Amino acid sequence: MKDRFLVFIPAYNCEKQVPRVLEQLLDPRVADFVTECIVVNNRATDGTEDAVRGWMAAHPAAPVRLLRNDKNYGLGGSHKVAFGYAAAHGFDYVVVLHGDDQGDIRDLLPLIGSGAYKNYDCCLGSRFMKGSRIQGYSTLRVVGNHGFNWLFSAVAGKRITDLGSGLNLYAVQPLKNEYYKKFPDTLYFNDCMILALCHLGQRVMFFPISWREEDQVSNNKLTSFGISLLKLCGRYLKNKDAFVTREWRETIIEDYTSTVVASNL
């Protein structure tokens, strides 16, 4: 039986970029493996939702649903909405493709075509490994990322080449116990996930991706982000079991709920 793939596009204040991301679904090679796509609007304050509705109306055959989070849950919280949706609706894999149009889902095609993805619990896109292509990144950011990749590799005991790009593939089965639910709802969600994946012994691979910055707006403040990453490493080294099981959230949310506001399905 053919695997069922859910594409999850987290969207927040990216009205200019998200239609371009959705255009990637029209590539016949992508359409061939994608079962459904959900755009999760994390209570955007611009025209993101209208932009998605307009694209869906122009492409009624595209298997897209637009969800609006019932509260602003942050990027990590939107992941939790999507992971729960994938588990509840019988998907085998969930593809994370950020709505700011920095990544390209077609970078997954070699893994999908060869079936290599079946050998892993997650396949994480990497901007900083051999074969990757980056446009618009400053030298400072590239060097900084390489430094933190080296640090996390040393801490985790596994080679890590990216702490969180906007293109990742997760098998749904390992997500069903919701080990990730207590992780931060913030931008640090991916960093906690990577360390947890290593500690839990999950099968992780990194694959090269293309990445560009053009008209995107970054929500990262590099200095504070770097300090927080150092603290994460310290907590992980102090007690790895506690790192995975502790409560990271400032606000405890029992159920990450959303509402379907438009659907082509």
Convert the pLDDT of each residue in 213-228 to its tens digit. Answer: 876 555 556 678 889 9
Convert the pLDDT of each residue in 172-195 to its tens digit. Answer: 999 999 999 999 999 999 999 999
**CA 170 to the chain's CA centroid:** 9
Query: Which residue's structure tokens are 């729960």?
Result: 84
**pTM of the predicted model as reported, rounded to 2 decimal places:** 0.94
Convert the pLDDT of each residue in 103-126 to its tens digit. Answer: 999 999 999 999 999 999 999 999
pLDDT band at 137 (very low <50, low <70, confident <90, very high): confident
Domain at 5-263, CATH homologous superfamily: Spore Coat Polysaccharide Biosynthesis Protein SpsA; Chain A (3.90.550.10)
Provide the pLDDT for residue 82: 98
* Separation in Å, CA 256 to CA 45, 58, 67, 226: 20, 30, 12, 28
CB burial of 160-189 (b: ≥16 within 10 Å; e: otherwise) equals bbbbbbbbbbbbbeebeeebbbebbbbbbb
3-class state of residue 40 by DSSP: strand
User: What is the rounded distance in angstroms from the CA atom of residue 147 to the CA atom of residue 5?
Assistant: 34
- Give the domain ranges of the chain: 5-263
DSSP state of 258: E
